[in-house]
Amino acid sequence: MGTTTEEARRLRELCEKYELENREILAKYTDEQLAAIYNGIGPEAFPQWLRAALDAVHPSLAPVAFIHDVEWHESDGSEESFAESNARFRRNGCTVACAAFGWWRPRRYKVMWDAVKFARVCQRFGWSAWRAPYEARQKGGAA
pLDDT score, position 44: 82
User: What's the domain range around 41?
Assistant: 5-138
Number of domains comprising the chain: 1
Q: Helix (H, G, I), strand (E, B), or coil: what is residue 141?
A: coil
Mean pLDDT of 51-57: 87
Q: Is residue 87 in some structural domain?
A: yes
Q: Is residue 120 in some structural domain?
A: yes
Q: Is residue 81 in some structural domain?
A: yes
Q: What is the pTM of this model?
A: 0.93
Tell me: the pLDDT tens digits for 60-87?
Answer: 999 999 999 999 999 999 999 999 999 9
DSSP for 74-132, please give it: T----HHHHHHHHHHHHHHHHHHHHHHS-TT-HHHHHHHHHHHHHHHHHHHH-HHHHHH
Q: What are phi and psi of 126, to 5 degrees?
A: -95, 5
Residue 23 scores a pLDDT above 70 = yes
Mean pLDDT of 5-18: 97
Q: Is residue 143 in some structural domain?
A: no
